[in-house]
Amino acid sequence: MQRQWGCVGDFPIVPAEMGDRDLGPSEEGERKEERGERWGVGLGGVGGLGEIEFHFSVGTGVTAMGPTYKVASAKMRSREFATWLTARRQGENETLDGQQMLEDIDMEMFDSDLYIGVTKRRKCSMGSEKVKSVTSLVYHPVQDADEEYLYAYGLDIKTGDTFRFYVPDPELALPSSETASQEIARLKHKEIIGGFIFTCCGRGAPFFGRPNIDSSPVLDNFPSVPVSGMFCGGEIGRGPSISGNSDGGQEQSFLHVYSSVYLLLSFSPPPRRA
């Protein structure tokens, strides 16, 4: 039976079977059995039918600039869903307002999207895990700056948190996409049955200067695998650990900006019975 590729933006969609002929009783039963073996075990190998595994990779797209700051004061404004900040350069005592902080970076970059990446150490748990302290890197868009405050979108920024400024960087995003492709290539020994791509709406051809960069890590390695995707405003996924933060530990990013998040599914058949 022939298959046809569709496309949404930069992304191919799941192949659609052509034709609408009726199936005979025998063929319909075989089709249902095939669907059950392939997709009915997505939560862990029910009934000895096999297992589906999830594989994750991420291509980043922002780069840090300027010094590291430590939050001196943080006024949360719940109605505006914003935080008003003053800060000190790490290792210094002078408290800086928003304008002074922006003077530390190239002001021309402020014409682009500007973020602060805040290193937060918070107590949390995931699923059945015990509550523990986790260090994470959280991105907050910069809304404005004046002679009083730096205005950041979002809450949960506390006095003592550290941060740096981040800007979109296609020169960093391109090799990061190539790294994601190399990680996905390591899955070629597995039976990949499908995948999803979630990429920032600020990426795509205008960002890179040419098309198909975000979809190539999957399609270059698995050209016949059905893939779907969408553009997002904040991409969710466990990112790689980043070493060398201010307290000498490691931090992870779970909500990304200007990134592409890849999720692939592999199928492992059940072991043969003796």
CA-to-CA separations, 3 to 50, 223, 273, in angstroms, rounded: 26, 13, 34
- Rounded to two decimals, what is the model's pTM? 0.74
Cβ-based neighbours of 125, under 8 Å, separated by 6 or more:
131, 132
Summarize the confidence of residues 176-205 as an average pLDDT. Answer: 94
Residue 35 reports pLDDT greater than 90: no
Higher per-residue pLDDT: 154 or 17: 154
Residue 219 reports pLDDT greater than 80: yes
Measure the CA–CA gap between 199 and 146, rounded to whole angstroms: 32
**134-145: pLDDT as tens digits:** 888 999 999 999
Residue 79 reports pLDDT greater than 80: yes
The 10 Å CB-count burial string (b at 16+, else e) for 163-178 is bbbbbbbbebbbebbe
Write down all domains in the chain, each with its CATH number in brackets: 3-17+46-60+171-268 (3.30.1330), 62-168 (2.40.30)
Residue 22 has what pLDDT?
Answer: 40
